[in-house]
Structure 1
Amino acid sequence: MITMSNFLAIDAGGTSTRAVLVDASGHCFGYGTAGGGNPVSRGIGPALEALVAASERALSGTGAFPSQVLIAMAGASLELPLNSYYDSFSALGLTGNVVIESDLLAAFYSGTFHDDGIALIAGTGAVGARITESHLAEVADGTGWLLGDMGSGFWLGQEVARAVAAALDGRGPATALTPLVMKELDIAFDLQDRTLGRLRAQQQLINKVYERSAIELSRFAPLVFAAIDDPVAQDIIQRAAAALAQTLVAISDGAETDATTMPLVFGGSVLTKGGTVAAAVLEKFAEARGQRLAEPTLVHDGVVGSAVMALKRHGITVDAGVFDRIQKSLSELRD
């Protein structure tokens, strides 16, 4: 049985959970995944089950027990039943404590080991943060689809649906997005087919959009990149970039040091896939502030950052060497 300090670091996302077992040197030697582990979107019971399932897979075959557990998740500030978390991990051999941290910090530390910098995440939602001395100093947006999440996957998808609805009844220009949305929803498109004056295709679009939850509009986000040469799609991309750049402006304005020299981490599929939006965000920021930010590091999840935080929060120095060891050993486990 391995008895040295081993840290179980967990990245609890809304759709998937990743757990990694890491020692004090930064060597990752256990990895497991499971379904969504975020209590906000999944509920506390199902989320905790996912955390335990991913952890069991990470521990399997290692002969190790975790001395500490760190969980990175959205809603880290919620009053969670920590006793339930502790009891569940004690059953896995936990000898120490369970700590809950922000998924924003996990995303940031997945791209850098430095304790000061900026993170911008645009997946289904969108949020930006300035990190100072290893803590969240300022956060902008991340307010949900009713209040914000500007430039997010949901926002893109909603704009695509709105553009197509407007194109179908003449309120907006024709767009290459229309046949893509029709195909996505399996709607026959016939300009001669009307019911009570409305195109049947538009009525079916209305029906199919409203019979689903609003957040499912994010399914249309990839279509804006499939129609990249379409003027309407380009306009949506540019407006998304402007909104995300404004989030960056909001969090960088309060920085005591020059934000242009700080590490910059981009996460979420809107920013990490293809590079179109990421490049436009940097350009929009430069236009707004007359100066350029550092080249961003792109991250695809927060599991590396969870491991980094697990070490840092227990007084272990994470330098370039330790950070590199975490990345490389985790990559080998994932292959």
Structure 2
Amino acid sequence: MAVVRSGSRLVAAGERGLIIYSDDSGQHWSQAQVPVSVTLTALRFANEREGWAVGNMGVVLRSSDGGQSWKRVFDGKQAAELAEQAAQQAWDAVKPDPNNPDHPLNLLLSDAQRLVDEGADKPFLDLCLQGDGSALVVGAYGLAFSTADGGKSWQALMKNLPNPNGATYYGIAERQQEQYLFGEQGVLLRATGTTGADAAFSAQTSPASGSLFGGLATRQGTLMLYGLRGKVYRSAQPGAAWTEVQTPVDASLIAGLQLADDTVLLLGSAGQIVASRDQGQSFTALPLKTRFPFTGATVAPDGTLIVTGTRGLLRLPAASLTAAAPAKATPSTTATHSAPAAVAPDDAARNSAAGAA
């Protein structure tokens, strides 16, 4: 489940195509009109009106009314057909020896044909918005597509991405003029300058051997990637080397955000939150009374931390974030990333309104 803040509204999405929104800092929720019933994995808003969501079966949704109603603008069937068409065009332009199964274009075409044969069962796991109706969506097995016209037409990007093993992309992180794709087994790609379909991604030497589930760029320009076994990797500025940072947790870190006082919070799948006041150079664990396996987080207009799990939402008052959050924190403009799955919380830990929805 994922949650974001758009203006004074909170919007959350999760299993069975459920999208809910709140205009009172998460105390009450209303259910949105959604045309699908598949699990939704990530949300982003370009502004207070324009929202996008992605999820299982290659679904991409768009809202133009602040998240109250949604339209499907792309799905896995279209994605597979588009991937096959793009791969065939690339193959026809070169016509490599079909008896060489290791040729990149033969592999690309084979993978695309397999997508069509297997049907629309591959999830998208994250997205980023470039404004003016442009979006990039990424997901399982190295899938990546972009649109520049609000979802009316799409381009397959897989042939432009150096990901020969088809590793899953769990997320996208942006810092100034940089854009990173990261995910399974530490895969890490970077583009600078141009974004979207024209972005030129190059493979990076990853600091991680395990999967990376989330990324957070602070207002000060520090970029943190985090994931399996509580690992955090920090780059202080564009082009800077990665440094591994020790954390007091060994469970996967799933989501992150920066508060108004510049405190960074990273949330884990075992219900732990670690905090940093020095731009990710060190982290301490927060003494939470409730263990809630997290998948996403944002800060409500009243300063409450809204966290999500696979079975609902939880409101954490600022007082529960001792030594981390100020009493009246506000969210950063930095996007948070949620993982595709997490352990379900205990019933007592769920927000009753969200659970009922």
Q: TM-score, normalised by structure 2?
A: 0.22
* Greater helix proportion: 1
Q: TM-score, normalised by structure 1?
A: 0.23
Q: State the structure with more CA Rg.
A: 1
